[in-house]
Amino acid sequence: MKYVIILFRIIIGLLFIFSGVVKANDPLGLVYKMNEFFEVWDMNFMINYTMALSIGMIAFEIIAGVAMLVGNAFRFYITVLLLLNIFYTFLTGYALYSGKIKECGCFGDCIPLTNTVTFYKDVVLSAMCLFLYWQRAKVSAITAKPAINFSIVFAAVIFGFGSQWYTLHHGPIHDCLPYKVGNNILEKMQPAPGAQDAVYETIFIYAKDGVKKEFTSANYPWQDTTWKFVDRRDKLIKEATGQPAIHDFSLTDSAGTDQTQAILTAKGYAFLWVIREPEKANTQTIEQLRALITKAEALKIPFYMVCSADQEVCNTYKKAWNMMDVPFLMIDGTVAKTAMRTNPGLILLREGTVMNKWSYLDYPKDLSMDNGVLTAK
């Protein structure tokens, strides 16, 4: 029994640390996934709190994982972890059986898992947590010195919150999204050879005499009026394969003309200053950006303001920021938050390939061109 307890502690502890660290690399990914759940559940009022929920949940996963290994305050952590795993199992079960959530995002965008794999993983983890909760009185800390045990867990607290502060302000350390450095956007917009769309089956839910029953389009009781329609849902039968990694990427100018192909196929470099929400954009380094625009103009490198708000709103902020001469392009809000996690942020393209990305705190201070190769530092 002793070795089973140790094994389960190691598995759960390392898995939660790993899960937390992966998500801490991109906390906004969990924010957007939470928003997706709340929208499906018609709980849009909760969207105002998803940032705090995301940061707290990610930090707790790291802290609880470390505490599980250390054994510090074990009874508290195993109780919370058991409840949390039961909740995760409900979420992943809902995602799997409702078909309304494509992926649960349990390991972020870097390690996508199917809903089936994630659900059964959570079932196993819940069982392991239940076992450890049952055996909680037999667990002791790794050292007999409480100060050492506390210091290790406290270090996890600092890391759990500090790592997220860094990535929220500077962007993911390891970018796993389709617009990462090195990817060609045009190529990522193309499906792979032999690509197939997902196959869904429509499920109709009818009720009769207080009993609900599911039907398919082939056998639903459309002629039997004793059955009353309750709901319908789409059940995934076969996953899509070879689909484009980038969807809906479109750059439209102030005249409403689509400039996507022209910009992505143009020779040389181009800067895209991506602003997701102008009213929330961090402009503390705006002067440095203006200096960068001047240097880009001197090197004949196009510089575009890419905004997910409408032209009138963007022009209001362009005027306030003294950037009326910067060409305006409109981009979809979902695409903007995928392409650039910070608001705002800067992307350097070369013939459609992402050469570099900077958050608003990391704009390059100088540009130089040597034999057609741009150096930004």
Q: What are phi and psi of 252, to 5 degrees?
A: -115, 135
Residue 50 burial by CB count (10 A; 0-12/13-18/19+): exposed, middle or buried?
Answer: buried
Highest mean pLDDT: which of 206-220, 240-254, 288-302?
A: 288-302
User: Which pLDDT score, from 0 to 100, does residue 124 have?
Assistant: 92
Q: How far is residue 163 CA from its own chain's centroid? A: 16
User: Which pLDDT score, from 0 to 100, does residue 2 have?
Assistant: 82
Mean pLDDT within 181-205: 86
Amino acid in position 164: Q
Highest mean pLDDT: which of 222-226, 227-231, 319-323, 362-366?
A: 362-366
Contacts of 41 (CB under 8 A, 6+ apart): none
Q: Cα separation of 177 and 208, whole Å? A: 47
More confident residue, 323 or 304: 304
Q: Per DSSP, what are the bridge partners of residue 329?
A: 253, 306
Placement of tokens 């969207």 in the chain:
47
- 184 has a pLDDT exceeding 90: yes
> Which DSSP string corresponds to 107-134?
TTTTS---HHHHHHHHHHHHHHHHHHHH
Residue of 160, 154, 169 whose CA lies nearest to 24: 160
DSSP-assigned letter for residue 257:
-
29-66 residue pLDDT tens: 999 888 888 888 888 889 899 999 999 999 999 999 99
User: Which pLDDT score, from 0 to 100, does residue 235 have?
Assistant: 75
- 363 has a pLDDT exceeding 90: yes
DSSP helix, strand, coil percent of the chain (3-state; round to 5): 50, 20, 35
- 183 has a pLDDT exceeding 80: yes
The model's confidence at residue 157, banded by pLDDT at 50, 70 and 90, is very high
User: Which pLDDT score, from 0 to 100, does residue 187 have?
Assistant: 92
Other beta carbons within 10 angstroms of residue 122's beta carbon come to 22
Confidence (pTM)? 0.84
268-316 residue pLDDT tens: 999 999 998 899 999 999 999 999 999 999 999 999 999 998 888 888 8
Residue of 301, 311, 304, 343 whose CA lies nearest to 325: 304
The model's confidence at residue 167, banded by pLDDT at 50, 70 and 90, is very high
More confident residue, 181 or 116: 181
- 195 has a pLDDT exceeding 80: no
User: Which pLDDT score, from 0 to 100, does residue 130 have?
Assistant: 92
Q: What are phi and psi of 95, to 5 degrees?
A: -60, -40
82-135 residue pLDDT tens: 998 998 898 888 888 777 777 776 777 788 778 888 888 889 999 999 999 899
User: Which pLDDT score, from 0 to 100, does residue 97 have?
Assistant: 79
- 137 has a pLDDT exceeding 90: no
The mean of the pLDDT values for the chain is 89
User: How, if at all, do strands 228-238 and 303-307 pair?
Assistant: unpaired
Q: Cα separation of 150 and 153, whole Å? A: 5
Amino acid in position 108: G
User: Which pLDDT score, from 0 to 100, does residue 218 have?
Assistant: 82
Token readout for 270 is 């181009």
Is the alpha carbon torsion for 14, 15, 21, 25 positive or negative? positive
Is the alpha carbon torsion for 316, 319, 321, 327 positive or negative? positive
Amino acid in position 141: A
The model's confidence at residue 356, banded by pLDDT at 50, 70 and 90, is very high
User: Which pLDDT score, from 0 to 100, does residue 169 have?
Assistant: 95
- 236 has a pLDDT exceeding 80: no
- 192 has a pLDDT exceeding 80: no
**Which region among 184-193, 230-239, 280-289 has the lowest average model confidence (pLDDT)?**
230-239
DSSP alpha helix (H) spans, the chain: 2-24, 27-40, 50-70, 74-98, 115-134, 146-170, 185-188, 260-265, 286-298, 311-320, 333-339
Q: Cα separation of 346 and 306, whole Å? A: 10
